[in-house]
Chains A and B, each alone.
Chain A
């Protein structure tokens, strides 16, 4: 099992790295955006594994974009370093906000994350002197001077790192802690789980990943504005991708991001904004007929298959 898994990774890794050889600049830019959404979806899925629904992805994404851009503009920070800076800054911000927000649960937590994202946007929109207000800020130059292949490779490496992190997460103590918290908090604490601390750590790290993605995005396109950097799409698309692919797994969001990313790109060409309608329809259909997403469905089929092979009947 482990061997086949390792082999799968090796193949996927090689394909990812070799991809620019076969793709033109347009295909590379689509692939970059898929990788970006993939990271957002994986990080969101890690927090949702604890039962906490965050609608703040766009907020941390935008905050990361601004952190990186402003660090480059005002401090002359090298772009790569500014990505690290955005990761740390957004993680720290999420930790501090989580101290308060994670005292809430369910709908109340979800709404507070939505409000946080909006508060970031409003502050940045109105802080003309520092953030450029509604006009945003331009970066002096793109990362790697806009060269397509290195930019793609950077995203591939970051995405691979995020996938590896999520795989580790799902085998570590965190898997047991977050799943128990999702199932029953009282039972969880009675086995010694520190719920507040666990949620804080997961919230901070996953938000930091979202900040890192936002920073990469800003460095790829060379600008930030309140409207584009805090766009609600960055919250809703990763959510749709995770639902389609399968909640609570590493490969669900990966699959969802690849499928919806490519389908969305294709649809954009023919019906501008129509892809959003398709996303909406997909979410509804998945929730109604396939609540565990593609990965859940294939797992079920596989289990049934193996059980039949072994001659066991599953009840």
Chain B
């Protein structure tokens, strides 16, 4: 039983159809890779689910409830967590305060309770020196903090937009095992946008390939990469 579903989800920006009639679903405990060449509509698709864009047509369901018209902050409160392709640390808050936000606003904790919960979550993800300003953190720590911020809303579904970008291979491996760990322990439904195919291969249970805003293939990674349309999308048209 899928927890998140989109039905014919479409958004047009003027004459450009960025996402075109996408049917998509996520299941708890599963990690789905969302891949495709640049401009395929991956981030736009996540923004549609997070509520940052209003779709031109189609709908989004969470747990069977239609949330197409719901505001972004409410979606965070009902369990949609996400990270951003362009990292958004809140630079006037410390590390732990960044993580507290989700507990404070999505879960409605009091300030002291949120601080305790945020400290626990940071320790779970291997973050230390929690009172630091974000300007003193390295890229791996920032990425972990972004993950912690998304987990702090107590999500049922989690979208990770290019989590591995900027990490070296060791750091990527650490993030991969961290994402797998939290997916299992919190029984999350996870959508991962990623450019590095090795990461997708290791991390995901299945993949969806977008090109020009449309789903051109889906299934197991091994099968999808053999698909002709996928190959031509990545290697150039007319192949």
Interface range on chain A (Cβ under 8 Å from partner): 20 to 34
User: Per-residue 0/1 for A69-97: is the Cβ within 8 Å of any B Cβ (1 yes, 0 no)?
Assistant: 00000000000000000000000000000
Bound-state CA distance A266–B209 (Å) is 72
Residues in B with CB closer than 8 Å to A194 are 71, 73, 105
Residues in B with CB closer than 8 Å to A176 are 93, 97, 100-101, 104-105, 111
A4 CB-CB contact with B under 8 Å: no
Minimum C-beta distance from A279 to chain B (A):
27
B37 CB-CB contact with A under 8 Å: no
Known contacts A180-B101, A194-B73, A195-B73: A187-B84 contact under CB 8 Å: yes
Residues in A with CB closer than 8 Å to B230 are none
B69 CB-CB contact with A under 8 Å: no
Known contacts A176-B93, A180-B93: A192-B88 contact under CB 8 Å: no
A177 CB-CB contact with B under 8 Å: yes
Known contacts A172-B111, A179-B93, A315-B136: A190-B82 contact under CB 8 Å: yes
Known contacts A173-B111, A190-B76, A192-B77: A183-B91 contact under CB 8 Å: yes
Are the C-beta atoms of B91 and A192 separated by less than 8 Å?
A: no
User: Per-residue 0/1 for A169-182: is the Cβ within 8 Å of any B Cβ (1 yes, 0 no)?
Assistant: 00111001101101
A232 CB-CB contact with B under 8 Å: no
A6 CB-CB contact with B under 8 Å: no
B72 CB-CB contact with A under 8 Å: yes
Chain B residue total in the interface (Cβ 8 A): 31
Residues in B with CB closer than 8 Å to A171 are 111
Are the C-beta atoms of B88 and A184 separated by less than 8 Å?
A: yes
Are the C-beta atoms of A177 and B105 separated by less than 8 Å?
A: yes
Bound-state CA distance A250–B32 (Å) is 47
Bound-state CA distance A192–B104 (Å) is 8
Out of A179, A192, A248, name the residue touching B90 (CB < 8 Å).
Answer: A179
A189 CB-CB contact with B under 8 Å: yes
Which of chain B's residues has its CB closest to A51's CB?
Answer: B92
A153 CB-CB contact with B under 8 Å: no
Are the C-beta atoms of B92 and A183 separated by less than 8 Å?
A: yes
Which of chain A's residues has its CB closest to B76's CB?
Answer: A192
Minimum C-beta distance from A159 to chain B (A):
26
Minimum C-beta distance from B149 to chain A (A):
6
Residues in A with CB closer than 8 Å to B153 are 190-192
Bound-state CA distance A190–B72 (Å) is 6
User: Per-residue 0/1 for B135-155: is the Cβ within 8 Å of any A Cβ (1 yes, 0 no)?
Assistant: 010000000000001101100
A48 CB-CB contact with B under 8 Å: no
Bound-state CA distance A188–B100 (Å) is 12
B19 CB-CB contact with A under 8 Å: no
Residues in A with CB closer than 8 Å to B120 are none
Residues in B with CB closer than 8 Å to A195 are 73
A287 CB-CB contact with B under 8 Å: no
Give chain A's interface residues, CB within 8 Å of chain B: 171-173, 176-177, 179-180, 182-184, 186-195, 248, 315
A177-B104, A192-B102 provided; 4 other pairs, C-beta below 8 A?
A172-B111, A183-B93, A188-B101, A190-B84
A-B contacts, 26 listed (Cβ < 8 Å): A173-B104, A173-B105, A176-B101, A176-B111, A177-B104, A179-B93, A184-B90, A186-B84, A187-B84, A187-B88, A189-B72, A190-B150, A191-B76, A191-B101, A191-B104, A191-B105, A191-B106, A191-B149, A191-B152, A192-B74, A192-B101, A192-B102, A192-B104, A192-B105, A192-B153, A195-B73
